[in-house]
Structure 1
Amino acid sequence: MLFLLGVAIGLVGILVPVMPGTLLILAVVAGWSAVVNEPRGWAVLGFVAVLIALSTVVKYAVPGRHLRNAGVPTSSILLGAVLGIVGFFVVPVIGLPLGFVLGIYLAEHRRVGHTRARGTTVTALKAVGLSLLIELTAGLIAASALFVGAITT
């Protein structure tokens, strides 16, 4: 039961970026697999590890492509990433997405002016939401895999 609580904390970590939620979920599943020490437990761990690795790639690739298709250049995305990292340390909980969106707005404001920068900023907000949705979906699938593995062992 404690393992399911750990996964629930990981899911909260995805929604409130204070801790790496998917990595916490992976660690909890690895701990559960070690305690159970049965082939089914290791299969669940393998599934969750592949799922989280794949979702990590997808959560950056898909929104990044969405931004590039909207005409946001890589330099604006990089500035958004840098300000997102700074924001993570300056403003707890919401600093990462706030810094990312602010960075894109500032870069685009300088590049194309206020009016067009608003549009790319909205696109950046959608990209952040899409990234969060991808990671949350992977976390929920991982939690479901652990639950199914736990009740069948």
Structure 2
Amino acid sequence: MGVSELLLVGVVILLGLCGVLVPGVPGSWLVWAAVLWWALSDPQPLAWGVLVGATAVLFLSQVVRWALPPRRLRENGATPRMAVYAGAGAVVGFVLVPVAGAVPGFMGGIYLHERLRLGRHGEAMAALRTVMRSGGSGVLAELFTCLLIAAAWLGAVLRG
């Protein structure tokens, strides 16, 4: 697989990561489809291993999301700007503290947005709890899964 095709797969994965934060966009399925495209174009054992792992992790994520409360983020004041803060926080956290940092990064992004919007610590914490209870945990689970898949893909591409 050439560099241009790898870049296209990376762009589709990035679009999928952004799509997780946009209601109605099947972001996790875009990430999985990009990994499938890569595995079919470059049929190496490592590529197939990443695809099988991505499929298993995505299935597990869907099971977890079904157990979580349904998304009612818009009704509770979540905005697209909040999604940007949360997503950026999750990515930064994922990079700074590999894997585990995505969770506090996501919540930190929401807190930062609410702190800037509301101005007080107590109100920002209350808003963070409200967002997480009204579906933010489902978004976090899906985003975390997609970050894991993207990291596995990037590691496999850099390895070989």
Q: TM-score range by the shorter chain?
A: 0.5 to 0.7
Residue in structure 2 matched with residue 21 of structure 1 by the alignment: 27
Cα distance in 2 for residues equivalent to 1:140 and 1:123? 23
Q: How many residues align?
A: 104
CA-to-partner distance for each residue in 1:45-91, whole Å, 9 max, x for gaps?
00000001101111221x23xxxxxxxxxxxxxxxx6xx7xxxxxxx
Match for residue 11 of structure 2 among 2, 5, 16: 5
Q: What is the rounded CA distance, in whole Å, between the counterparts of 2:153 and 2:34 in structure 1?
A: 9
State the match for 2:152 in structure 1. 145
> What is aligned with 2:142?
135
The letter of the residue matching 1:58 is V
Partner of 2:74: 98
- In structure 1, stretches of 5+ residues that fail to align are 65-80, 85-95, 103-121
Structure-2 separation of matches of 1:44 and 1:3: 14
Are the counterparts in 1 of residues 12 and 30 from structure 2 also a CA contact under 8 Å?
A: yes
Moved over 6 A (4+): none
After TM superposition, the score normalised by the length of structure 1 is 0.60
Structure ID, larger Rg: 1
Output the CA distance in 1 between the equivalents of 2:132 and 2:25: 22
Pairwise CA distance, 1:149:
1.1
Cα distance, 1:125 vs structure 2: 3.6
Q: How many Å apart are 1:124 and its aligned residue?
A: 6.6
For 2:140 and 2:59, locate their aligned partners in 1 and report how far apart those are by CA, in whole Å: 15
Within-5 A mapping of 1:115-134: 125-127=131-133, 128-134=135-141
Secondary structure, aligned partner of 2:66: helix
Identity fraction in percent: 28
TM-score, normalised to structure 2, is 0.58
How much is the aligned-residue C-alpha RMSD, in angstroms? Answer: 2.3
Match of 2:60? 54
